[in-house]
Amino acid sequence: MQELPEPGPEDPWEERPEGWRGGTSRRAFVAMCAVGGVVVVLVLVVLFSAVDGRRGGHGLKGEAMNHAKQVGMYLIEFAVDYGSFPGDSTATEVAKNSGSPLDFYDGSSNAVFRQLIAYGCDSEEIFFCRHPEGLRGPDHRISGTHALEAGEVGFSYVHGQSDSSSPDTPILLFPMVSSSYDRFWAMEVYREKAMILRADLSVDWVPIRESGQKAVDEHGIPIMDAAQRYLGGSWPDMRHPKF
């Protein structure tokens, strides 16, 4: 009697009886793989977009706002103890109380913010934002006389204000032309807008006029014009970063 051949491996593509679901399952498996691949691609796109956003305009704007608000909190705490925001009138007392060797008198916003370092702020990072006149960045050295050296600050500062100033008074501004009291750099990465931290710690981004480089309010009046109510008819005493 002739022996029958041993059954071989089942052919996965062999035609199946009517009603068999194997082909359907195979198609479903292929479809699931395709969908999974699309999901993975979308996740990667989102992740790379987030990284790119942090490196680009949205990330830099968020960084500037976050840093400004942190500085603002230190300004409020400082004013509770010294009666005003840091400036020439508080420098001597801060030096005496802290024993700090830092320079509080060179006329820059760096010097003003060093009073906050002496007061207890332990980070240079919060005073920095990317400015077209200098891109050095903080080196995180605050011991001795190293705190907030040239290129480590980006914010301009309206000197002579306090926590009792009108809530809408600008305190920190960015990115200002360092040789001016009212002109700004219209940087594309910041959507050609100026950032303002006010005395109530609110943050606004306002448009910069192409003509004159002035940041203007909703009525078209320059933010730092002496006609603004919060400036009391006087031109502001601006302290700019040292680059």
User: Tens of pLDDT along 148-185?
Assistant: 999 999 999 999 999 999 999 999 999 999 999 999 99
239/236 Cα distance (integer angstroms): 9
Mean pLDDT along residues 33-41? 52
Please answer whether residues 114 and 147 qualify as being in contact, where contact means their C-beta atoms are separated by less than 8 angstroms: yes
Please answer whether residues 152 and 163 qualify as being in contact, where contact means their C-beta atoms are separated by less than 8 angstroms: no
- Size (the chain), residues: 243
Position 227 pLDDT exceeds 50: yes
Domain parsing of the chain, residue ranges: 60-239
Calculate what percentage of the chain has a pLDDT beyond 70.
Answer: 77
Q: Which two tokens stand for residue 45?
A: 């796109």
Please answer whether residues 118 and 204 qualify as being in contact, where contact means their C-beta atoms are separated by less than 8 angstroms: no
17/118 Cα distance (integer angstroms): 85
35/164 Cα distance (integer angstroms): 59
Task: Compute how many other C-beta atoms are within 10 angstroms of the C-beta atom of residue 43.
Answer: 10
pTM of full prediction above 0.85: no
Instruction: Tokens 């002739």: give the residue.
Output: 2
**For the sheet containing 193-198, what is the strand order?**
203-207, 193-198, 170-174, 156-158, 238-239
pLDDT of residue 210: 87
